[in-house]
């Protein structure tokens, strides 16, 4: 049974629904546009077609898409984390993206609210997100949704000898 919700926003019809197999390609391609090396170097390293496929296969109940007037507009990919030997469940919003053509229309808010509702119905007691420390738009968005108590997280990367050799090979 497909879960579909419809809203009127800015004189347009917004449809929020379950992720289907037909959403794999547009989700992947939108993510490629949003999670680029220049904008999000940490996230870029893990965004690939397998990321989308894995969520679809393992967490399809927590994958949601948005359409505006029948056109693909955005997505949420998340998971429900259940700790062994614990009654605590965490809803983890891993990816959220809205096409630039539909920014500032409330689509991300509607996607988030649907995600939150599904997580709550699934028994989640806590919702979690993460974003890059310099992504002010995401930070402000999540604060507006009630997230607080940000935790510092340090991420390091290091180029290996193979990277340097690959660069030298390209220069030949």
Domain boundaries, the chain: 4-171
Paired tokens of 69 = 């007037």
Calculate the CA dihedral of residues 84, 154, 92, 65 and round it to 10 degrees: -150
Give the pTM.
0.82
CB within 8 Å of 98: residues ≥ 6 apart: 66, 73, 74, 107, 108, 111
Tens of pLDDT, residue by residue, the chain (172 residues)? 478 999 998 899 999 999 999 999 999 999 999 887 766 565 546 788 889 999 999 988 899 999 999 999 999 999 999 988 888 899 999 999 999 999 999 999 999 999 999 999 999 999 999 887 778 888 899 999 998 877 766 666 677 877 655 554 554 4
Which of 106, 47, 51, 58 has the alpha carbon at shortest distance from 80? Answer: 58
The whole-angstrom separation of Cα 84 and Cα 71 is 41
Query: What is the per-residue pLDDT for 86?
Result: 83
Q: Could you confirm whether domain 4-171 is CATH 3.30.420.40?
A: no
Task: Supply the pLDDT for residue 40.
Answer: 59
3-state secondary structure at position 96: strand
């Amino acid at each position: 049974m497909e879960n579909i919700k419809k809203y009127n926003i800015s004189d347009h019809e917004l449809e929020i629904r379950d992720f289907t197999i037909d959403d794999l390609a547009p989700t992947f391609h939108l993510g490629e546009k949003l999670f680029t090396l220049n904008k999000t170097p940490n996230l870029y390293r893990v965004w690939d077609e397998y990321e989308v496929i894995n969520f679809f296969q393992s967490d399809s109940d927590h994958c949601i898409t948005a359409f505006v007037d029948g056109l693909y507009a955005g997505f949420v990919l998340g998971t429900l984390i259940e700790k062994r030997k614990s009654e605590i469940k965490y809803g983890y919003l891993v990816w959220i993206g809205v096409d630039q053509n539909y920014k500032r229309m409330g689509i991300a808010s509607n996607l988030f609210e649907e995600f939150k509702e599904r997580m709550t119905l699934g028994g989640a007691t806590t919702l979690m997100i993460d974003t890059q420390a310099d992504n002010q738009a995401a930070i402000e968005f999540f604060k507006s949704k009630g997230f607080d108590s940000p935790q510092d997280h340090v991420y390091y990367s290091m180029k290996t000898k193979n990277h340097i050799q690959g660069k030298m090979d390209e220069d030949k």
